[in-house]
Amino acid sequence: LTEKVMQVANKPCITPDGRAVELQLNAGLSEGVEHSSKLGALGIGLYRTEIPFMNRSCFPSEHEQTKLYKDVLSAFPKHAVTMRTLDVGGDKSLPYFPIQEDNPFLGWRGIRITLDHPEIFLVQVRAMMRANQRLGNLEIMLPMVSSVEEVDEAIRLINQAYFELKAELKADILEQLIADEKAELKAEKIAQQLVRPKIGIMLEVPSVIFQLEDLAKRVDFFSVGSNDLTQYLLAVDRNNSQVSNLYDAFHPAVLRALNNIAQESARLLVPISLCGELASAPSGALLLLAMGFDKLSMNAHNVPRIKWIIRHVQFSQAQAILAHVLTLSTVKQVHDYLNEQLEQLG
Ligand code: PEP
Ligand code: MG
């Protein structure tokens, strides 16, 4: 990283004409998160919990998960840490949980698996909430949501885990305060401090774009997974080299979908972020800023560069670029125009 870019690490992510956007981290291991927290990101926008599940020989216990999540939450004690519930299936498999199917990306993936196995889901969200007891900076995010019913069921399970945990905490305290005549009152007070985390969903399956209003009534935030949203909108496998020339998040249809999502979220007063690769491309970040995304989440090494760019472009200019991009009809036109604009911006 150049010195020029690193200089902005501790400065706010704001355009010269005053439009702010928060930059957050995508992460998957607890090692390195501590170091990444110094690069100027405000919290974690996507913690991929499946990654620590992948290099093991069996499911981690509730105790092991609690310890792991505590480390991640304490890397950003003053900022939100968004943990995504287990997102396996598709291209991500666990050696101890084999899945065989013809179309994995259209099959048993993400929330579909954990709702079919509530015992896995409950252990995970309980561990997350236990880990959150001291700092209270946890947010829970659900992957691969395609319907309202999935959200209702996931929230029901999270609430169940939350109330069980709270009762357990209270019972533990009561036991310790056995001779104290104000034990009941004290235990209740401490148990009240256990907060139910905010719950959000990933927008990465096209169906949810048309149900934002229904979903807004149920959750606290939305976060676009542009990697999967691109794959599903364009019907192009994100990992198939045969069709990789067709996989492009700058496709006019994807950009218009993102713009609609941002506008609709603003109207519904739901905070909107994006945690796919698009946020770490300079021209992608500019367009997302102009669309009105509140937060962009990306790998640590991209944070200083994207912040530097946002601090050097007028919001009004980004809006003008977006307005023109939304009139273009082909991917090539979009890329040519954006390259030309970025060059002019230096
Ligand atoms: C996405 O789909 O854009 C995303 C952020 O999640 P993942 O890449 O882990 O599927
Ligand atoms: Mg995804």
| pLDDT of the residue at 39 | 84
| pLDDT of the residue at 1 | 56
Q: Compute the distance from residue 4 Cα to the ligand 2 centre, in Å.
A: 33
How do the residues of the chain divide into helix, strand and coil, expressed in percent and rounded to 5?
A: 55, 10, 35
**Ligand that lies nearest to the alpha carbon of residue 276, given by its number in the listed order:** 1
Atom of ligand 1 nearest to the CA of 275: 5
Q: Compute the distance from residue 149 Cα to the ligand 2 centre, in Å.
A: 19
**Ligand that lies nearest to the alpha carbon of residue 225, given by its number in the listed order:** 1
Closest residue to atom 9 of ligand 1, CA basis: 48
Q: Is 153 exposed, middle or buried (0-12, 13-18, 19+ CB in 10 A)?
A: middle
Residue to substitute in 142, 204, 230 for testing ligand 1 pocket (most ligand atoms within 8 angstroms of CB): 204
pLDDT in single tens digits along all 346 residues of the chain: 567 767 888 899 999 999 999 999 999 876 667 777 778 899 999 999 999 999 899 999 999 999 999 999 999 999 999 999 999 999 899 999 999 999 999 999 999 999 999 999 999 999 999 999 999 999 999 999 999 999 999 999 999 999 999 999 999 888 888 888 888 888 888 888 889 999 999 999 999 999 999 999 999 999 999 999 999 999 999 999 999 999 999 999 999 999 999 999 999 999 999 999 999 999 999 999 999 999 999 999 999 999 999 999 999 999 999 999 999 999 999 999 999 999 998 7
State whether the beta carbon of 225 lies less than 6 angstroms from ligand 1. yes
State whether the beta carbon of 50 lies less than 6 angstroms from ligand 1. no
Using an 8 Å Cβ cutoff, are 221 and 273 in contact? yes
Q: Compute the distance from residue 235 Cα to the ligand 2 centre, in Å.
A: 14
Q: Compute the distance from residue 204 Cα to the ligand 1 centre, in Å.
A: 8
Q: Compute the distance from residue 186 Cα to the ligand 2 centre, in Å.
A: 43
**Ligand that lies nearest to the alpha carbon of residue 274, given by its number in the listed order:** 1
pTM: 0.96
